[in-house]
């Protein structure tokens, strides 16, 4: 049982925004949601990557080039999705960057601000856009329109390390977005959760391996987790799909670990 495939169709005809869909976890999430019937609004700064993804998806889906940290671009990807499909039902707010590995005294302000812009400001802008969209739809419908939002958090949302301060600070902030939005959205029927991956080899780690001290030992670290391996993007996509679906109808405000058990080891 690898949990990488699905025969269920929980998102038949639904419309899903996935940010950072051009690579890694976002790509796997888009593939999973489309395989369950969703039309995907695939958002990324990398135009070629999202266009290639959409060409492979089995549902009518669109690629949108947008930097999630840019307020105008976020309005743009929402508008593109609504123009294409009339509405958006679920959101996987996933785009993120690692930033620099460095001891805290060696960090530059730019290192910190670059990561916070994408991982916090970008996630806030996506959240606000989603909640505004649900509010608009509810006003039109004359009753609350339910919704579901999943953020990609991280094991770094829950724990610290000595050389990854901007990233772990940004991912702790994602926990705050999940908690606040879940309390706001609950009475409106809007669930908000996060998935917290551990180590999943993706482009993110390839980039990290080239920065100071970073990334190189990730595979070795993954082999010490209780499940003794790194995760796959599909492993994470399965959790995202569950949290976005009605199978998780009574789950909100949770950061669900998908880390091979890494976060429970003392």
User: Residue 41's Cα: distance from chain center in Å?
Assistant: 13
Site for ligand NAD contains 100 (CB under 6 A): no
What's the min distance (Å) between Cβ of 237 and ligand NAD?
A: 10
Cβ-proximal residues to 79 (8 Å cutoff; 6+ apart), any chain: none
**Catalytic residue positions, numbered:** 167
Which of the residues 131 through 190 are near ligand NAD (CB under 6 A)? 152, 154
Please tell me the distance from the alpha carbon of residue 75 to that of residue 20, in angstroms, as a whole number.
16
Nearer to ligand NAD, 8 or 219 (CB): 219
Strands, sheet with 255-258, edge to edge from the N-terminal-most edge strand: 62-65, 39-44, 15-19, 90-93, 147-152, 190-197, 255-258
Q: Smallest distance from the beta carbon of 65 to ligand NAD, in angstroms?
A: 8
Residue closer to ligand NAD, measured from CB, 157 or 252:
157
Which tokens belong to 94? 């996933």
Nearer to ligand NAD, 65 or 148 (CB): 65
Q: According to the binding rule CB under 6 A, does residue 199 interact with ligand NAD?
A: yes
Taking the complex as a whole, the smallest distance from the CB of residue 20 to ligand NAD amounts, in Å, to 3
Shortest distance, CB of residue 145 to ligand NAD, whole angstroms? 26
Site string for ligand NAD, 3-42 (x = CB under 6 A): ----------------xx-xxxxx----------------
- Contact predicate 160/190, CB 8 Å: no
Interaction between residue 202 and ligand NAD (CB under 6 A): yes
Q: Could you give the CA distance from residue 123 to residue 15 in angstroms, rounded to a whole number?
A: 19
CB nearer to ligand NAD: pick between 81 and 96: 96
Contact with ligand NAD (CB under 6 A): which of 204, 239, 243, 256? Answer: 204
Tally of CB atoms within 10 A around 126: 27
> Which lies closer to ligand NAD via its Cβ, residue 134 or residue 151?
151
Tokens (6 digits) for 249:
């109808």
Q: Of 55-94, which residues contact ligand NAD (CB under 6 A)? A: 67-69, 94
Query: What is the residue whose two structure tokens read 């780690």?
Result: 205
Please give the radius of gyration of the chain, using alpha carbons only, rounded to the nearest integer. Answer: 18
Three-state DSSP state, 111: helix
Q: Which tokens go with 33?
A: 């949601």
Site residues (vs ligand NAD, CB under 6 A): 19-20, 22-26, 44-46, 49, 67-69, 94-97, 118, 122, 152, 154, 197, 199-200, 202-205
């Amino acid at each position: 049982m690898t949990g990488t495939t699905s025969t269920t169709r929980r998102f038949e005809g639904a419309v899903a925004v996935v940010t950072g869909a051009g690579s890694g976890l976002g790509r796997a999430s888009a593939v999973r949601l489309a395989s369950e019937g969703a039309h995907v609004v695939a958002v990324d700064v990398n135009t070629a990557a999202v266009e290639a993804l959409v060409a492979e998806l089995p549902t009518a889906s669109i690629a949108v080039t947008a930097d999630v940290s840019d307020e105008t671009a976020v309005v743009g990807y929402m508008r593109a999705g609504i123009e294409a499909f009339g509405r958006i039902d679920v959101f996987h707010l996933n785009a993120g960057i690692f930033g620099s590995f460095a001891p805290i005294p060696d960090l530059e302000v730019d290192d910190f601000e670059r990561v916070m812009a994408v991982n916090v400001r970008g996630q806030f802008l996506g959240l606000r856009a989603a909640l505004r969209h649900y509010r608009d739809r509810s006003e039109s419908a004359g009753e609350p329109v339910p919704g579901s939002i999943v953020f990609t958090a991280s094991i770094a949302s829950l724990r610290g390390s000595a050389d990854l301060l901007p990233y772990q600070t940004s991912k702790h902030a994602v926990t705050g977005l999940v908690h606040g939005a879940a309390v706001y959205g609950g009475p409106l029927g809007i669930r908000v959760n996060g998935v917290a991956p551990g180590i999943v080899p993706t482009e993110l780690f390839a980039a990290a391996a080239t920065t100071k001290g970073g990334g190189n030992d990730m595979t070795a670290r993954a082999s010490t987790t209780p499940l003794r391996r790194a995760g796959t993007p599909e492993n994470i996509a399965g959790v995202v799909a569950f949290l976005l679906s009605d199978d998780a109808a009574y789950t909100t405000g949770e950061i669900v670990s998908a880390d091979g058990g890494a976060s429970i080891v003392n």
